[in-house]
């Protein structure tokens, strides 16, 4: 999917940075003058066009959630910009954010804890309207919202702890979509769900995208998920994007060694197996964003690393058509996975469990 | 303690299951009464409440009526607990003393709770500089033992029922502030707070709707546990002559008076300390049972129970 030349991207992120200071207290700060920083997001740029699904992948701790929370204005950006349809989002005050909340929404990583535990589903589903003072004629009823996400009307009386993970996820999606947003950040929508629940959530999300013309930023560490319905994929590593491009191309011909390593351990269609698996392939752990490696951040784990990689930071090279890669040597490497990635097999497994 | 009963049932009370607040309260009381300590606490407190409300009806004499001829007597059919140095009926004085004990303790604890709740919510939710200031304030108050602080403040303000209430309230407030602050900080970590924020919810809405309900249970426990402390502080102040001024029959004053005549008749001391002990024990046991029943650590087991 390429950018519509007339309207420009719907969501545009430029050099976005989010640093957390890891201060302890007044005394500790006075004693140790050194200001500790966690560079959770460190200079990320990408565009998302209307109707597109961008998959954002990366290991745990690479800063995916922080990136989404920063764009949503939930954590303050340290620098850079993020704009929705030309409107700058970074640095907005709460009051200025209000009208934009209806255009951009997010569902959070943990389905169980993203619903307030003391309220029934019906209350939680009306909340978006109450908070945003939506006139009654523009509100969807609780039944309609439940129906939209494939839940029966009787779920309205349940409390969050009485819902299964998949049902809680659906309620979160209904809450986020109640305001008819254009952009939806979905943070690990399948996290904590078993394979069949995960598959039906993905199917629901795809349906909703097609029905409502939604634009997704789909965050996951599971390449099977993005392989299933992302148009483009952005790969994140220790706070930075290392590669971005069309989904099919990335899955078939990764350019960045890190993407290749991710793919090498992707074909396990069980999200729980994936994370441990990754370490076996890569060796070592993801470096801390508190103290990122010099040069290319991937060099300590990269089998193609040479002295240049330790010294010089690779630029994110723009190859046109929305394709970018940040590696000194990508032109010289042939990284096409040996057994071609079984994304299709994974997608088939997902499709089998469809409702 | 009835450990065996804890698992399933305990969680049942905590869950915000079907039914209104009254049903839930009913279930909570039933759950507390199932445990021996809880039952004891409930009975003592109910008796105490009856006595406090109906003091003039229950007490055989006026607590102030002197009868010098029959002073310092032991228990008899006329004076079940005996009489004090002015010949006043000790049973009646103990009964009216309960009014002072609870009349001071309950408002004092409520004051402490409201002050602590507000401070704790604000400092816990906002964090940063506000939080630091609040912490220093709490430390300053808690650096002194409650009785000493209350004594010092009363010495400045002068002893009166109102001042005793205020002073005890101030001394106990940091305890609430700390608990509320810690709970708020923990509750804030929950993803639903961010989910609410991303829907555009205001800070006030989040605090009132989504944080407060989660800290209500521990507050409840703390109140039950703090009432005996407040009663003890009140008695201590009265014993030292800085409490509710005489001739009010504060249990602490009964102790102090009885102390002067202990060699002639120990009955004033026995009566007043028995009342103090029983009340303190009752509230403490209720508080502990409540903590067992509502223990936040059990929240993980909530999922398992299922009862519509
Ligand atoms: N509020 C915070 N304060 C300090 N550090 C933080 C904070 N939030 C996140 N971090 C750090 O930022 C880094 C990125 O975290 P983030 O949650 O964005 O990763 P992620 O890619 O979403 O990982 P996961 O797949 O586990 O969700 C981590 O090292 C994390 O410890
Ligand atoms: S720049 Fe060097 S270390 Fe980094 S990914 Fe490319 S080859 Fe590996
Ligand atoms: Mg995350």
- Residue-wise pLDDT for A171-184, tens only, equals 999 999 999 999 99
Q: How confident is the model at residue B299 (pLDDT cuts 50, 70, 90)?
A: very low
**Total number of domains constituting chain B:** 1
Comparing CB atoms, the residue among B192, B202, B303 nearest residue A116 is B192
Cβ proximity of A243 and A325 under 8 Å: yes
Q: Classify residue B246: in a domain, yes or no.
A: yes
Q: Which of A257, A297, A311 to mutate to test the pocket of ligand 2 (most atoms within 8 A of CB)?
A: A257
The per-residue pLDDT of chain B, averaged, comes to: 82
Say if ligand 2 is within 6 A of residue A314 CB: yes
| Distance in angstroms between the alpha carbons of the first and the last residue of chain A | 28
Note the pLDDT of residue A337.
58
Q: Classify residue B25: in a domain, yes or no.
A: no
Proximal ligand: closest to the CA of A240: 1
Task: Measure the CA angle with vertex A247, ends A241 and A253; round to 5°.
Answer: 85
The arithmetic mean of pLDDT across residues B122-127, rounded, is 88
C-alpha dihedral sign at A99, A102, A107, A113: positive
Q: Classify residue B136: in a domain, yes or no.
A: yes
Long-range contacts from B269-274, C-beta under 8 angstroms, 24+ separation: B270/B81, B271/B81, B271/B82, B271/B90, B271/B91, B271/B93, B271/B94, B272/B94, B272/B97
Q: Classify residue B190: in a domain, yes or no.
A: yes
Lowest mean pLDDT among A13-17, A342-346, B9-13, B18-22: B9-13
* Confidence check: pLDDT of A347 > 80: no
The arithmetic mean of pLDDT across residues A160-178, rounded, is 92
Q: How far off is chain A from B117, nearest CA to CA, in Å?
A: 19
Q: Classify residue B85: in a domain, yes or no.
A: yes
pLDDT greater at residue B15 or residue B65: B65
Note the pLDDT of residue B111.
95
Taking an 8 Å cut-off on Cβ atoms, the answer to whether A175 and B213 are in contact is no
Say if ligand 2 is within 6 A of residue A326 CB: no
Note the pLDDT of residue B13.
39
CATH 1.10.357.10 fits domain A5-22+37-103+181-351: no
Q: How confident is the model at residue A1 (pLDDT cuts 50, 70, 90)?
A: very low
* Confidence check: pLDDT of B3 > 60: no
Q: How confident is the model at residue A29 (pLDDT cuts 50, 70, 90)?
A: low
Q: What residue in B sits closest to A116 (Cα-Cα)?
A: B192
Q: What residue in B sits closest to A164 (Cα-Cα)?
A: B303
Distance A337 CA to ligand 3 centre (A): 27
Percent of chain A with pLDDT over 90: 45
Comparing CB atoms, the residue among A26, A97, A108 nearest residue B195 is A108
Q: How confident is the model at residue A320 (pLDDT cuts 50, 70, 90)?
A: confident
Distance B301 CA to ligand 3 centre (A): 25
Which two structure tokens, joined as six digits, stand for B185?
């900080």
Q: B209 to each of A49, A158, B202, B286, how far by Cα in Å?
A: 37, 18, 10, 28
- Counted residue by residue, chain B has a size of 308
Q: How confident is the model at residue A32 (pLDDT cuts 50, 70, 90)?
A: low
Lowest mean pLDDT among A119-128, A145-154, B15-24, B254-263: B15-24
Instruction: Give residue-wise pLDDT tens across range A186-238.
Output: 999 988 888 888 889 999 999 999 999 999 999 998 888 888 788 999 999 99
Maximum C-alpha span of chain A? 64
- CA A39 centroid distance within chain: 17
Q: Hey, is A24 helix, strand or coil?
A: coil
Q: Which of A65, A192, A272, A275 to mutate to test the pocket of ligand 1 (most atoms within 8 A of CB)?
A: A65
Taking an 8 Å cut-off on Cβ atoms, the answer to whether A161 and B17 are in contact is no
- CA B2 centroid distance within chain: 23
* Confidence check: pLDDT of A247 > 80: yes
Instruction: Give residue-wise pLDDT tens across range B243-252.
Output: 887 777 889 8
> Torsion angle of alpha carbons A95, A101, A102, A108, nearest 10°?
-150
Rg (C-alpha) for chain A, rounded Å, is 21
Given CB atoms, is B133 within the 8 Å cutoff of chain A? no
The closest residue, in CA terms, to atom 1 on ligand 2 is: A327
The closest residue, in CA terms, to atom 28 on ligand 1 is: A61
* Confidence check: pLDDT of B224 > 80: yes
The domains of chain A are located at: 5-22+37-103+181-351
Note the pLDDT of residue A24.
55
Q: Residue A286 has what DSSP assignment?
A: P
Q: Classify residue B302: in a domain, yes or no.
A: no
Comparing CB atoms, the residue among A26, A109, A131 nearest residue B191 is A109
Note the pLDDT of residue B149.
87
Q: Hey, is A40 helix, strand or coil?
A: strand
Instruction: Give residue-wise pLDDT tens across range B268-291.
Output: 888 888 999 999 999 999 988 888
* Confidence check: pLDDT of B205 > 80: yes
The arithmetic mean of pLDDT across residues B145-168, rounded, is 88
Residue A204's nearest CA partner among A148, A153, A154 is A148
Note the pLDDT of residue A278.
52
Note the pLDDT of residue A33.
52
Q: Classify residue B5: in a domain, yes or no.
A: no
Instruction: Give residue-wise pLDDT tens across range A51-84.
Output: 999 999 998 889 999 999 999 999 999 999 999 9
The arithmetic mean of pLDDT across residues B175-196, rounded, is 89
Note the pLDDT of residue B255.
86
* Separation CA B44–CA A271 (nearest Å): 56
Residue B68's nearest CA partner among B83, B78, B56 is B83
Range(s) of the domain holding residue B92: 35-294
* Confidence check: pLDDT of A136 > 80: yes
Residue B16's nearest CA partner among A121, A131, A111 is A121
Peptide bond into B247 cis (omega under 30): yes
The arithmetic mean of pLDDT across residues A119-134, rounded, is 92
Q: Hey, is A185 helix, strand or coil?
A: strand
Residues of A in contact with B196 (CB under 8 A): 116, 127, 131
Say if ligand 1 is within 6 A of residue A58 CB: yes
* Confidence check: pLDDT of B15 > 60: no
Q: Hey, is A104 helix, strand or coil?
A: strand
- CA A306 centroid distance within chain: 31
Taking an 8 Å cut-off on Cβ atoms, the answer to whether B192 and A114 are in contact is yes
Q: What residue in B sits closest to A71 (Cα-Cα)?
A: B198
Comparing CB atoms, the residue among A108, A161, A175 nearest residue B191 is A108
Q: Which of A17, A21, A36, A64 to mutate to test the pocket of ligand 1 (most atoms within 8 A of CB)?
A: A64
The arithmetic mean of pLDDT across residues A268-285, rounded, is 54
pLDDT greater at residue B185 or residue B1: B185
Q: How confident is the model at residue A319 (pLDDT cuts 50, 70, 90)?
A: confident
Say if ligand 1 is within 6 A of residue A239 CB: no
* Confidence check: pLDDT of A165 > 80: yes
Percent of chain A with pLDDT over 70: 83
Given CB atoms, is B204 within the 8 Å cutoff of chain A? no
User: What is the DSSP code string of chain B?
Assistant: ---TTIIIIIHHHHS--SS-HHHHHHHHHHHHHTSHHHHHHHHHHHHHHHHHHTHHHH-SS-TT---GGGTT----SSSTT-B-TT--BHHHHHHHHHHHHHHHHHHHHHHHHHHHHHHHHHHHHH-HHHHHHHHHHHHHHHTS-HHHHHHHHHHHH---HHHHHHHHHHHHHHHHHHHHHHHHHHHHTSHHHHHHHHHT--HHHIIIIIIHHHHHHHHHHHHHHHHHHHHHHHHHHHHTT-SSPTTS--HHHHHHHHHHTTTT--HHHHHHHHHHHHHHHHHHHHHHHHHHHH-GGGGGGGGG----
Given CB atoms, is B197 within the 8 Å cutoff of chain A? yes
* Confidence check: pLDDT of B6 > 60: no
Q: How confident is the model at residue B187 (pLDDT cuts 50, 70, 90)?
A: confident
Distance A62 CA to ligand 1 centre (A): 7
Note the pLDDT of residue A22.
67
* Confidence check: pLDDT of B113 > 90: yes
* Confidence check: pLDDT of A145 > 50: yes
Q: How far off is chain A from B128, nearest CA to CA, in Å?
A: 9
* Separation CA B290–CA B18 (nearest Å): 21
**ipTM of the predicted assembly exceeds 0.85:** no
* Confidence check: pLDDT of B72 > 60: yes
Residues of B in contact with A172 (CB under 8 A): 195
> Torsion angle of alpha carbons B52, B55, B57, B59, nearest 10°?
130
Taking an 8 Å cut-off on Cβ atoms, the answer to whether A131 and B199 are in contact is yes
Residues of B in contact with A97 (CB under 8 A): 200
Q: Hey, is A315 helix, strand or coil?
A: coil
* Separation CA B107–CA B168 (nearest Å): 9
Say if ligand 2 is within 6 A of residue A309 CB: yes
* Separation CA A286–CA A62 (nearest Å): 8
Q: The domain that contains B274 carries what CATH number?
A: 1.10.3720.10
Q: Classify residue B18: in a domain, yes or no.
A: no
The arithmetic mean of pLDDT across residues A17-44, rounded, is 73
* Confidence check: pLDDT of A243 > 70: yes
Comparing CB atoms, the residue among B191, B209, B302 nearest residue A110 is B191
């Amino acid at each position: 999917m390429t950018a519509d030349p007339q309207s420009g991207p719907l969501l545009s992120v430029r050099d976005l940075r989010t640093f957390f200071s890891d201060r302890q207290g007044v005394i500790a700060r006075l004693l140790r003058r050194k200001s500790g920083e966690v560079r959770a997001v460190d200079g990320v740029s990408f565009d998302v066009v209307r109707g597109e699904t961008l998959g954002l992948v990366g290991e745990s701790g690479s800063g995916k959630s922080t990136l989404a929370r920063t764009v949503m204005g939930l954590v303050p950006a340290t620098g850079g910009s993020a704009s929705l349809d030309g409107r700058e989002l970074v640095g907005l005050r709460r009051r200025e954010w209000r009208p934009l909340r209806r255009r951009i929404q997010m569902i959070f990583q943990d389905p169980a804890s993203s619903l307030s535990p003391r309220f029934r589903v019906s209350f939680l589903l009306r909340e978006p309207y109450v908070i945003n003072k939506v006139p009654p004629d523009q509100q969807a009823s609780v039944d309609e919202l439940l129906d939209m996400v494939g839940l029966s009307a009787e779920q309205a009386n349940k409390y969050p702890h009485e819902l299964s993970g998949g049902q809680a996820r659906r309620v979160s999606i209904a809450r986020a979509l109640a305001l008819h947003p254009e952009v939806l950040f979905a943070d690990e929508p399948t996290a904590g769900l078993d394979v069949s629940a995960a598959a039906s959530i993905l199917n629901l999300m795809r349906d909703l995208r097609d029905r409502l013309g939604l634009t997704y930023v789909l965050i996951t560490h599971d390449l099977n998920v993005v392989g299933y319905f992302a148009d483009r994929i952005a790969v994140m590593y220790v706070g930075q994007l290392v590669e971005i491009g069309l989904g099919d191309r990335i899955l078939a011909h990764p350019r960045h060694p890190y993407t290749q390593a991710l793919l090498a351990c992707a074909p396990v269609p069980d999200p729980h197996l994936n994370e441990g698996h990754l370490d076996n392939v890569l060796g070592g752990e993801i470096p801390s964003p508190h103290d990122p490696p010099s040069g290319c951040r991937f060099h300590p784990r990269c089998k193609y690393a040479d002295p240049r990689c330790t010294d010089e930071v690779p630029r994110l090279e723009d190859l046109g058509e929305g394709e970018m890669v940040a590696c000194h040597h990508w032109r010289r490497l042939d990284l096409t996975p040996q057994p071609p990635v079984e994304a299709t097999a994974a997608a088939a497994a997902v499709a089998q469990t469809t409702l | 303690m009835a450990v065996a009963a804890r698992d399933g049932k305990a969680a049942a009370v905590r869950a915000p299951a079907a039914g209104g607040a009254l049903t839930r309260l009913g279930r909570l009381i039933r759950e507390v009464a199932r445990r021996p300590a809880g039952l004891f606490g409930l009975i003592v407190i109910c008796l105490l409440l009856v006595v406090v409300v109906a003091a003039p009806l229950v007490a055989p004499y006026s607590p102030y009526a002197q009868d010098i001829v029959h002073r310092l007597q032991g228990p008899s059919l006329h004076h079940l607990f005996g009489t004090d140095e002015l010949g006043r009926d000790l049973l009646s004085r103990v009964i009216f003393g309960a009014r002072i004990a609870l009349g001071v303790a309950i408002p004092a604890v409520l004051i402490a709770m409201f002050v602590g709740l507000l401070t704790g919510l604000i400092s816990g939710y906002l964090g940063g500089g506000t939080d630091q200031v609040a912490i220093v304030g709490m430390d300053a108050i808690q650096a002194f033992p409650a009785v000493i602080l209350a004594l010092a403040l009363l010495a400045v303000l002068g002893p009166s029922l109102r001042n005793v209430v205020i002073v005890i309230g101030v001394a106990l407030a940091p305890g609430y502030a700390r608990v509320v602050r810690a709970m708020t900080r923990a509750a804030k970590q929950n993803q639903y707070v961010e989910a609410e924020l991303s829907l555009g919810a205001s800070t006030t809405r989040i605090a009132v709707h989504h944080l407060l309900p989660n800290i209500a249970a521990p507050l409840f426990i703390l109140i039950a546990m703090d009432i005996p402390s407040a009663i003890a502080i009140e008695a201590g102040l009265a014993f030292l002559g800085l409490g509710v001024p005489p001739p009010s029959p504060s249990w602490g004053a009964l102790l102090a008076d009885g102390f002067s005549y202990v060699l002639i008749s120990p009955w004033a001391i026995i009566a007043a300390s028995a009342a103090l002990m029983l009340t303190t024990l009752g509230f403490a046991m209720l508080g502990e049972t409540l903590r067992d029943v509502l223990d936040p650590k059990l929240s993980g087991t909530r999922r398992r129970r299922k009862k519509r």
